[in-house]
Structures are given as structure tokens and as C-alpha cells.
Chains A and B, each alone.
Chain A
Amino acid sequence: MRQGEISLVGLLALFSLYLMWKSTELPIGYIRGQGPGGGFWPFWLACGMLLSCLASAWNWWRGLSPASRSDEPLMDAFGWRTLLYVGGSVVAFVALISIVSMYGAVAAFLFYYLRFLGRHSWFLTLTISILLPIGLFFFFEAVMLISMPQGMSFTQPVFDLMYDIIY
């Protein structure tokens, strides 16, 4: 934890410096007749972020934060595995949207989570992973008139069929 905290502070300080540099693409000072430039607000806020990082580093050096006094690892094997299985599945879910459509990705994600992480029965898994995307389709496309991504062209026949029901 101790090493993790100072590494994170270092990363955040670098990000703050990047934001300060990026803010200078627009004027950061006062322009006569126009008021503060467009970079004024983000520049000084990023400067505040950097100063907070320096204060956090000082607190770490003096052992004032709980993490800076801890010798425990950031996460145990279970924690890393959880992050990989659950966080990884969310990343895969979003990546799948452009391929199999939003509703297809919802079905695939629910199937994976319920069956392999939740260890639920096939009946429950299939019921939820098929019915929920269909319900969401009618809610968003028919009621709320919000079009979700339809993925690659091979999903089109399914969408045509569903739209025939709505219209």
C-alpha cells in the first residue's frame, strides 16, 4: 500500500502537469476587454491539483495517511482475480457493442456473468439473458425513441424483425 500510494500520487502529479500544459493552448492570463482567457480556469485548477499532490506526497513522507503506514499488499490474489474477471468482462461488454449491437452485448454479458461468475442455473441464465435485452429494446427503441448501436451488418435481420413489431 505504501509504495502504491506514492506511485499513484506521482501519476496524478504527472497528469496535473499535462493538464496545466494543455491549458496553455488558450490564454491563461487576463485579456483587456475580454476578461480571463479560455485557459485561465483549467490552468489554475490543474495547478491546484499539482499542489494537492505535493501535499499528499508530504503527508506520505511523514506517514500521516493510513496507506503510507501500511505494509499490506494493494490487493490479494482474490482481488486481482475479481478485477480481471469482473472488470475485464465489463471492458469486453463495451468492446462487443460495436460488433454484436448493444442488445447482443447485454445478452452475452448477462450470460457470462450469471452462468460463469454467479453459477446460476441454465434456465435462469437463459431467461434473464434473452428476455432482458428484448425488454430493453422495446423500452428504448419504442417508448423512449432512443436508438442503440446496432453492431455490424450481420445483426440487421434481427433488428428488421424487431422493428416490424414496433411499427
Chain B
Amino acid sequence: MEVISFLADGILLALEPINFALIILGVTVGLFIGAMPGLGSVNGVAILLPITFLVPPNSAIIFLAAIYYGAMYGGAISSVTLGIPGASTAVATTFDGRPLALQGRASLALVTAALASFVGGTVANVLFTLFAPVLASTALSFGPPEIFALMLLAFATFVGLGGDDIPKTVFSICLGLVLAAVGFDTISGEPRLVLFEIDGFMRGIGFIVLAIGVYGIGEMLWTIEQTRGEVTTTNPKMTAKGMASDAKEAMQRGWKGTTIGSLIGFFVGILPAAGATPGSLMSYGVAKMMSKTPEDYGNGSPDGVAAPEAANNSASTGSMLPMLTLGIPGSPTTAILLGGMVIWGLTPGPRLFLDETEFVWGLIGSFYISNIAALVINLAFIPLFVWMLRMPFTILAPLIFVLSIIGGFAASRSMHDLWLIVIFGIAAFFLRKFDYPLAPAVLAIVLGPIAEPTLRQSLLLSSGDPMIFFNRPIAGPITIVAIILILLPGLKFLRRKRAMAKN
């Protein structure tokens, strides 16, 4: 009962005129920043942090959290309309969101993303409200072996994301992981894989560089070559009735993905150093594995949009939990929020819930309000985003190229990275010609920086004994499930071959 009373106070605080206005402004700004390729919640929160010193800490954190929320909703927009994941959290949304847009069903994809995000956010808010302290202590029991086992599980789901050609899928995963290792060895601090002795590689290769190259440049070249420049997407005019019908279809065909994404996203989100990206990728993989029609995934399945979108919103709320209760940021954005809290004179950690009750519950209350505001604002802008797709392709294509290049520079501020984007784009075009799946490479470059240090730390803990991944109570079962999933396509292939030989 005490929790409900605190929550009611928090919601009332969030509804105060100044706080409510900041929520609306924050969500709208976040939505557009998230929709821009190359910019994500981290940019929005970092840039607007100084502005928050003009208002009290309660209002400041509410504003920044609203930007975070808006950006999570916005990430799906560029994934669906442009085919470029605006942020790593929206990579998996591209897999089915883009095919739906090309089938003239962009509004269904965007409505599904909005509703799934709302449900994911709400589930996470409820779990956060009820179980914050308990979950925080559970998250602490995840050490390097557990996190690595979780990454292994995510990679195992990638094998299912590739096509039938397992060697090409494995090549793609390994390539993404090696590219993530370029730059400096994070443990010894020595330069590593400085390819062809070009100094630019010392900065490493960011996820966004590969993603924009593959999905921005490569995808556009592929589309133009395959369709001979005659791209036709049939977009019916947006009406309130049409959107209501899309919402109904989204609920019918996307509820499974939404449920899976909401739960997986939250639990992965609360783990320190994991965050929304692994959560959304794993949710997509698990939703596909649990589906009765996995062949629909990648061809425009609403469930394939719902799972990652519910997960990234759920995880973004989840990642606030270790930040508030333990003082450990779960993602780059929460790291900036943490910095802001310190500047405002607050000390994140176990005592925050006791010493700063009004602040904490005001923030939690604002999650609920921001979630509703983000849903309404997002739905209101969907006609505008769908209108973009009705542009002639000879206008849309150069705009996508321009956004890819300018967004790529905004993310990395390096000409070296721009050239890499072009090289990756052209390479992706040729690799795709020979059926190399590229999504696993993009996913691997995102998770590589988490997987490598946790593997090395685990082996250091066990003096090089890999059994550490099997004999710990949490890591063991996760590792075994991951290994089964990795071996599954091979076993299926052998069974199919045997059946064919019999026939």
C-alpha cells in the first residue's frame, strides 16, 4: 500500500504544469532526435543536460527521462521509413519494419512499434515500481561469466537470423566481432588491429559506421540495382479509420512479440553493462524461435517489429534501476543521467530511495506519464512519417544518402569513418549478391565490446578454465541453452539431409 501511495504522489508531481510541459517537450524532442540516423537518446540527453540546471532537480530528471523515452520511440521511425537503424537499439526493428514499409504497410509497422513500445514501457514501469530493490540485488549477482553467457545466448539467436547457409552466417558473426575488436585492447591498453597501419583505425569501428554502410548505402545500391530504379511502394492515404484498423491488426499479430520483448527487455535492461541493445536483439531472436511461422520473420512480420520495440522501451526503464538503486549506469544514456544527478547534489545508491523519496517517486511517476505522452505524440506524427514514403524514389534515395553521410559524420566526427561507411556500403552490396547475411555482422559489432571483456575477465577469474561458464548456477543453464541453440540448425540440416537421402 505504501508503494501505491508513493507512486500516486510521484504521478501528481509529474503532472504539475512545469513538469508536464517538460515531459511533452522532452518526448517530442527525443522522438525527432531518435528518428535521425546517427543521433540517439545519448546525444539528446548530453546536449540538453546543461539546460536542466535552470530548473529544480525533480523537473530536470523528468525532462531528461522524457527525452530518453521519446528517443526510444523515435529509433523505430528511421528503421521503418528509411531502413537505417537510427540507434543500436533499433537494429532489429529494421529486419521486419523495412519490409513492411516496402509492402506499403509502413503505418502498420509504425503503429505496431508505438503500441509495443507503450506496452513494454508500462510492463517495465510496473515491475520497476513493485520490485526495484529486489531486482537490483539480483542484477548484482551477474558477474562477467553470467554476462558472457548471456552474450553467447544472443549470438546463438543470430545463427537463426542468418539464412540457410550456415558458413556464411558464421563468417558474418565473426567479421562483426573482429571489426568490434579494432582499435585499442581495452584490457592492456595497447593498439590492436590497426588495419593497413592507417591511424584512423585506432579509434575503432563504431556500430553506426557499419550499420549506416550496410543499411544506408549498401541497401540503397541494392534496391536501385534490383528494381532498376523503379521502386514503388503503395501507401494508402492515412486516415483515423486506417490507423485504428492498423492498431487492431498490430494487437492481433504483435501481442506475442510484445509480451516476449517486454519481459526479456526489462530483465536484460537491469543488468549493468547490458542495456537495451542486447535486450532488443535477444527478444527478436527468442520471438522468432518461439513463433509457429518463423519464416515470416524478416519478410514483414508485425511480431518482428513488436518484440524489439517492446524490449528497447522496457530495457530503457530497466536500465534506470541499477542507476538509481546501486549507482551503476546500465547504458551510456543512464551514465549521463547519473552525472547529472551528481551535479544536482544527489547521491545515487541504496539510500536514494530513503533520503530522496520525492525525487525518486517523482521520476517513477514521470515514467508512467512520459510513456502515455510518447504514445500519443508518436501516433500523432505517424501520418507525417508515412507521407515521407510517398515521395518519388528519385527524391527519397538522395535524401537517404545525404542523411547516411551527414548522420555518420555527426555520430563519429571523422572523415575516416565516412570513407569506411562508403567502403562498407559497396562491400555490403557485393556480399549480398552472394547471399551473405549482413544483419548478424551488425549485431555482432554491437555486442562484441561487451562479449570480449567479459570472456577475458571470466577466464582470468578461473585461471583459464572454461568450465566457469558451466558450473555457476546462473551462467551454467544459460550457456547450455546457448550451445543447444547453436547446434540446432546443424542438427536440423543433418535430419533434412538424412530424410532426403531416404527419399
Known A52-B174, A113-B398: A145·B47 in contact at CB below 8 Å: yes
Q: How far is the CA of A18 from the CA of B164 in the complex (A)?
A: 27
Q: Taking the complex as formed, is B387 at the interface, i.e. its CB lies under 8 A from any CB of chain A?
A: no
Which chain A residues numbered 91 to 131 have a C-beta less than 8 Å away from chain B?
91, 93-94, 97-98, 102, 106, 109-110, 113-114, 117-120, 124, 128
Residues of B within 8 A of A26 (CB): 185, 188, 190, 192
Known A4-B434, A30-B464, A97-B415: A23·B193 in contact at CB below 8 Å: yes
Q: Taking the complex as formed, is B1 at the interface, i.e. its CB lies under 8 A from any CB of chain A?
A: no
CB distance from A2 to the nearest CB of B (A): 11
Q: How far is the CA of A121 from the CA of B221 in the complex (A)?
A: 24
Q: Taking the complex as formed, is B27 at the interface, i.e. its CB lies under 8 A from any CB of chain A?
A: no
Contact between chains at A97 and B418 (CB < 8 Å): yes
Q: How far is the CA of A3 from the CA of B47 in the complex (A)?
A: 51
Residues of A within 8 A of B168 (CB): 52, 56
Which chain B residues numbered 375 to 400 have a C-beta less than 8 Å away from chain A?
392, 394-395, 397-399
Known A22-B195, A38-B188, A94-B419: A82·B225 in contact at CB below 8 Å: yes
Contact between chains at B435 and A90 (CB < 8 Å): no
CB distance from B287 to the nearest CB of A (A): 27
User: Which partner residue on chain A sits nearest B444 by CB separation?
Assistant: A45
Interface majority SS (helix, strand, loop, mixed), chain A: helix
Contact between chains at A86 and B171 (CB < 8 Å): no
Contact between chains at A118 and B171 (CB < 8 Å): no
Known A66-B435, A74-B433, A83-B221: A38·B192 in contact at CB below 8 Å: yes
Q: Taking the complex as formed, is A17 at the interface, i.e. its CB lies under 8 A from any CB of chain B?
A: no
Q: Taking the complex as formed, is B224 at the interface, i.e. its CB lies under 8 A from any CB of chain A?
A: yes
Give the residue of B187, B195, B394, B430 whose beta carbon is less than 8 angstroms from that of A38: B187
Contact between chains at B409 and A149 (CB < 8 Å): yes
* Per-residue interface assignment for chain B, residues 152 to 181, with 1 indicating a CB less than 8 Å from any chain A CB and 0 otherwise: 000000000000011110110011011001
Residues of B within 8 A of A83 (CB): 221, 225, 429
Residues of A within 8 A of B392 (CB): 118
Residues of B within 8 A of A40 (CB): 456
Contact between chains at B224 and A59 (CB < 8 Å): no
Contact between chains at A55 and B402 (CB < 8 Å): no
Contact between chains at B433 and A93 (CB < 8 Å): no
Residues of B within 8 A of A45 (CB): 174, 177-178, 181
Residues of B within 8 A of A48 (CB): 170-171, 174
Contact between chains at B221 and A102 (CB < 8 Å): no
Which chain A residues numbered 1 to 41 have a C-beta less than 8 Å away from chain B?
1, 4-5, 8, 12, 19, 22-23, 25-26, 30, 34-41
Residues of A within 8 A of B395 (CB): 114, 118, 120, 124, 128
Residues of B within 8 A of A140 (CB): 406, 410
Residues of A within 8 A of B460 (CB): 34-36
Which of A74, A87, A97, A136 counts the most B-chain CB atoms under 10 A from its CB? A87
Interface magnitude class on chain B: 35 or more
Give the residue of B167, B397, B452 whose beta carbon is less than 8 angstroms from that of A59: B167
Number of A interface residues at 8 Å Cβ cutoff, please give it: 67
Q: Taking the complex as formed, is B76 at the interface, i.e. its CB lies under 8 A from any CB of chain A?
A: no
Q: How far is the CA of A67 from the CA of B430 in the complex (A)?
A: 12
Give the residue of A30, A65, A98, A146 whose beta carbon is less than 8 angstroms from that of B165: A65
CB distance from A59 to the nearest CB of B (A): 7
Q: Taking the complex as formed, is B217 at the interface, i.e. its CB lies under 8 A from any CB of chain A?
A: yes
Q: How far is the CA of A107 from the CA of B408 in the complex (A)?
A: 17
Residues of A within 8 A of B314 (CB): none
Residues of A within 8 A of B434 (CB): 1, 4-5, 8, 65, 67
Residues of B within 8 A of A90 (CB): 217, 401, 405, 422, 425
Q: Taking the complex as formed, is B319 at the interface, i.e. its CB lies under 8 A from any CB of chain A?
A: no
Give the residue of B229, B430, B452 whose beta carbon is less than 8 angstroms from that of A82: B229
Contact between chains at B401 and A22 (CB < 8 Å): no
User: Which partner residue on chain A sits nearest B187 by CB separation?
Assistant: A38
Residues of A within 8 A of B418 (CB): 94, 97
Give the residue of B166, B193, B228 whose beta carbon is less than 8 angstroms from that of A22: B193
Contact between chains at B171 and A94 (CB < 8 Å): no
Q: How far is the CA of A36 from the CA of B186 in the complex (A)?
A: 12
Contact between chains at A93 and B174 (CB < 8 Å): no
Q: Taking the complex as formed, is B455 at the interface, i.e. its CB lies under 8 A from any CB of chain A?
A: yes
Q: How far is the CA of A40 from the CA of B187 in the complex (A)?
A: 12
Q: Taking the complex as formed, is B243 at the interface, i.e. its CB lies under 8 A from any CB of chain A?
A: no
Residues of A within 8 A of B43 (CB): 144
Residues of A within 8 A of B431 (CB): 8
Q: Taking the complex as formed, is B457 at the interface, i.e. its CB lies under 8 A from any CB of chain A?
A: yes
Q: How far is the CA of A53 from the CA of B167 in the complex (A)?
A: 7
Q: Taking the complex as formed, is A148 at the interface, i.e. its CB lies under 8 A from any CB of chain B?
A: yes
Residues of B within 8 A of A4 (CB): 433-434
Contact between chains at A79 and B188 (CB < 8 Å): no
Which chain B residues numbered 192 to 221 have a C-beta less than 8 Å away from chain A?
192-193, 195, 217, 220-221
Which of B43, B229, B406, B409 counts the most A-chain CB atoms under 10 A from its CB? B406
CB distance from A147 to the nearest CB of B (A): 8
Interface residues of A (CB under 8 A from B): 1, 4-5, 8, 12, 19, 22-23, 25-26, 30, 34-42, 45-46, 48-49, 51-53, 55-56, 59, 65-67, 74-75, 78-79, 82-83, 86-87, 90-91, 93-94, 97-98, 102, 106, 109-110, 113-114, 117-120, 124, 128, 132, 136, 140, 144-146, 148-149
* Extra pairs beyond A8-B430, A98-B415, A102-B409 (11, CB < 8 Å): A22-B193, A40-B456, A41-B452, A67-B433, A74-B433, A94-B422, A97-B405, A109-B401, A113-B394, A114-B398, A120-B395
Sampled A-B contacts (13; CB under 8 Å): A23-B193, A36-B456, A38-B188, A45-B181, A52-B168, A53-B171, A56-B165, A56-B168, A79-B225, A82-B225, A94-B419, A97-B405, A113-B397
